[in-house]
Amino acid sequence: MAIKVLVVDDSAVVRQVLVSLLSEVRDIDVIGAASDPIFAMKKMAQTWPDVIVLDIEMPRMDGITFLKKLMAERPTPVVICSTLTERGAEVTMQAMASGAVDIITKPKSGLKGFLQDSKTELVSAIRGAAVARMSRMKGSSPAEDRSVKLTADRVLPPASSRVIETTDRIVAIGTSTGGTQALEAVLTRLPSSAPGIVVVQHMPAQFTRAFAQRLDSLCQVRVKEGENNDRVIPGQVLIAPGGRHMLLRRSGAQYRVEVKDGPLVSRHRPSVDVLFRSVASAAGRNALGIIMTGMGDDGARGLLELHQTGARTLGQNEASCVVYGMPKEAFKLGAVDKELPLSEIPAAIIGQVL
């Protein structure tokens, strides 16, 4: 059955392009387009969409207000279509915190070409949103070819079989759809003495910094967007910047991150597979790998490599995932030592390393 999609954006150009692009996709049925939430609600009274593609700044009612109303009354998957600006990033983080499932970015100019180039990313986001479990939700260069699925081999070689064990412990977390809320649920429950943590959350460039800043304001641990050569230290979480890979490196007795460009791996940059493989190489059995909610299979092979070094590996269980995709694929590969509900992951992190 086709996914019923409603587009809500005050730009006539955006509405026209999105409707045209999505109408070409066999499993998507665009049931309408509206210039603001007021008009959208009139259309929804006739036919309720499976997924809403929503702009933030609109007349009469802004996207955040509409989103909160929607989540309170009838939770429905929402993909935010937001402008690539600092202000846009901050507001979009509010939308994600309010229950939006995913983000698609749009520039201020060159809109038509940009959206056409981003068709694969947009369709993937809509498909992921369509299978999202809304009961589990709280209140990259677009022109690249995502049809070719590259592996972590394109960024770094596989881990060697021997990694020197130290007393330092590293936690590596990978997540995607539904991950912003899942990460908040985990990180806000960690003490300031928690181990050093490295994270890949699939998110466009310019949004990860605002996401990290928001988490930093809520958590006892310090949360920041990872920068090249940042040390991985207890009490700090480094989130991979959108549009770039983040790798763990060993420097003597210290762990640091390397932030670098590179091709899309498992159709993503940053890629969880790349992070996990680097953790397998740098930390091995000194690490704890955790794969959480998300569509697709990014991170599954990387977690298996980490598991094979003797590291402990965890997966978020199906019942607590917004989308049980990435953890499912990792579990099928035999990469997961144990599946846990989201509520038990913070305690597992503390119990494993403290």
Looking at the annotation, which residues are catalytic? 176, 202, 298
Handedness of CA 270, 230, 314, 341 (dihedral sign): negative
CB 221 within 8 A of CB 236: yes
C-alpha–C-alpha distance, residues 65 and 63, integer Å: 6
CB 7 within 8 A of CB 19: yes
C-alpha–C-alpha distance, residues 150 and 267, integer Å: 7
CB 41 within 8 A of CB 16: no
Q: What does DSSP assign to residue 137?
A: S
C-alpha–C-alpha distance, residues 296 and 177, integer Å: 9
C-alpha–C-alpha distance, residues 304 and 294, integer Å: 17
DSSP-based three-state secondary structure for 247: strand
C-alpha–C-alpha distance, residues 167 and 155, integer Å: 28
Amino acid found at 297 = D
Contacts of 287 (CB under 8 A, 6+ apart): 169, 170, 171, 172, 279, 280, 306, 309, 311, 312
Task: End-to-end CA distance of the chain: give it in Å, rounded.
Answer: 49
> DSSP 3-state helix, strand, coil percentages of the chain (rounded to 5)?
40, 25, 40
